[in-house]
């Protein structure tokens, strides 16, 4: 059975829509990667996620909406990519010098290992232990407990906010150098 979004379309039209959306995803990822960390998510993965959301009904579309399916899917792709870059998780980890979805290869980690979050977390934690052990508690709270506001960190760690701000800046500098 054909999904209602694809009813009335030929196989050629569906293929052309896919190519259009894939081209759009490549262009958007290239744009975002110029302003952020390198991308380790592929345009194909983003397009697949857009189609999955369409088929599951999370991002429904019908011809009555007044625009083509390809433009709807391009909007989904734009939203997905934007969410990768602006999610709380990505913002926190970028602030720390890394990102779950957008990670640059490091000197001592192979590019394929950089995509493994656990490998990267161990690498960054080791950088902190070896270079700034006094800030390990701040790092652990930010990464594992997802606490990022200085006041919350200060309360949790029973440290002054000035110490937290200094630690965050030092960690950001340290981890941005270790990429």
Q: Is residue 96 a part of any domain in this protein?
A: no
Q: Are residues 78 and 114 in the same domain?
A: no
Range of the domain at 31: 4-86
For 109, phi and psi rounded to 5 degrees? -125, 135
Q: Is residue 102 a part of any domain in this protein?
A: no
Q: Can you tell me the distance from the alpha carbon of 147 to that of 156, in angstroms, rounded to the nearest whole number?
A: 9
Instruction: Please report the pLDDT score of residue 16 as a whole number.
Output: 94
Q: In the predicted model, is pLDDT for residue 77 greater than 90?
A: yes
Instruction: Please report the pLDDT score of residue 17 as a whole number.
Output: 93
Average pLDDT across the chain, whole number: 77
Q: Are residues 28 and 76 in the same domain?
A: yes
Instruction: Please report the pLDDT score of residue 107 as a whole number.
Output: 45
Domain count of the fold of the chain: 2
Q: In the predicted model, is pLDDT for residue 36 greater than 70?
A: no
Q: Can you tell me the distance from the alpha carbon of 163 to that of 167, in angstroms, rounded to the nearest whole number?
A: 6
Instruction: Please report the pLDDT score of residue 102 as a whole number.
Output: 35
Cα-based distances in Å from 51 to 58, 101, 111, 118: 10, 20, 28, 29
CA 75 to chain centre: 17
Q: Are residues 143 and 172 in the same domain?
A: yes
Q: Is residue 91 a part of any domain in this protein?
A: no
Tell me the per-residue pLDDT of 122-164, one tens digit each, with 9 for 90 and over.
777 888 888 888 988 888 888 777 677 888 888 989 999 888 8
Neighbours of 41 (CB within 10 A): 17
Which of 30-34, 51-55, 61-65, 77-81 has the lowest average pLDDT? 30-34
Q: Is residue 93 a part of any domain in this protein?
A: no
- Mean pLDDT of all residues in 84-108: 52
Instruction: Please report the pLDDT score of residue 116 as a whole number.
Output: 56
Q: Are residues 133 and 172 in the same domain?
A: yes
- In this structure, what token pair is assigned to residue 155? 């309360």
Instruction: Please report the pLDDT score of residue 178 as a whole number.
Output: 57
């Amino acid at each position: 059975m054909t999904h209602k979004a694809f009813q009335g379309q030929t196989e050629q039209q569906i293929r052309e829509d896919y190519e259009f959306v894939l081209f759009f995803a490549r262009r958007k990822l290239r744009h975002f990667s110029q302003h952020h960390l390198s991308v380790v998510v592929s345009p194909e993965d983003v397009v697949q996620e857009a189609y999955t959301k369409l088929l599951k009904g999370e991002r429904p579309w019908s011809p009555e909406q007044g625009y083509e399916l390809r433009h709807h899917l391009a909007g989904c792709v734009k939203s997905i990519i934007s969410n990768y870059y602006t999610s709380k998780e990505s913002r926190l980890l970028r602030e720390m010098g890394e990102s779950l979805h957008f990670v640059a290869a490091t000197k001592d980690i192979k590019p394929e290992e950089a995509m493994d979050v656990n490998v990267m977390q161990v690498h960054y934690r080791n950088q902190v232990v070896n270079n700034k052990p006094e800030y390990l508690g701040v790092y652990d709270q930010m990464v594992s407990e997802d606490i990022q506001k200085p006041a919350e960190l200060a309360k949790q760690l029973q440290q002054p906010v000035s110490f937290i701000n200094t630690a965050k800046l030092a960690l950001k500098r340290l981890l941005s150098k270790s990429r």
